[in-house]
A = this chain, B = another copy of it.
């Protein structure tokens, strides 16, 4: 019995190691395609010329960072891994590894359609992450003991929220309106209320969330 448990834990451990390596490579490769301009005069001119690329770098670094944090948070709830989780996780990493390329799109074209592709990819990573968590939580039964309500809460707050926030932030920036940020505020307020309602009924939710 205990040997089998150990094997599944090793499986989970190796899956996390592999994912971390892919996250780390994708985040570091973001900068590799950025090159300094050929002619520049002084620091101010350099930053002016590189502004778009550095902005795109910062945004994509933030996006991958947020997904790494989400991944760490969902996977810290798992007890074991299986072959299906391997495949769903690979799918997510396969989309993530396209971010450096899509970031190039952003700084080269800068057009509205480039933003659509970018936000579409960010949202797809979020959906793939949510699917991996949903599989692990429900049919796969790979998590630590936790109720169905909490599993759904983690799905919404940890897996889906980052992608949604990225999309809404972009919407606000591109349309120069506050609607996206208003949407984020409403969602965060809603989830906080749900959490409070849930924690009234099921007290074990509170320490879990606090620890996270």
Contacts and interface: CB of A to CB of B under 8 A. Distances in A.
Given A21-B21, A28-B25, A42-B113, A8 B211 contact: yes
A146 interface: no
Give the dominant DSSP class at A's interface. helix
Interface in A130-166: none
B101 A11 contact: no
Contacts of A32: 29, 32-33, 100-101
A35 B104 contact: yes
Interface of A: 4, 7-8, 10-11, 14-18, 20-36, 40, 42-43, 46, 57-58, 61, 65, 68-69, 72, 76, 83, 86-87, 90, 93-94, 97-98, 100-101, 104-105, 108-109, 113, 116-117, 207, 211-212
Contact of A29 (B4, B16, B28, B105): B28
A72 B11 contact: yes
B98 A31 contact: yes
A98 B116 CA distance: 26
A98 to B, nearest CB: 6
Contacts of A16: 14
Contacts of A76: 7, 10-11
Contacts of A36: 101, 104-105, 108-109
A43 B116 contact: yes
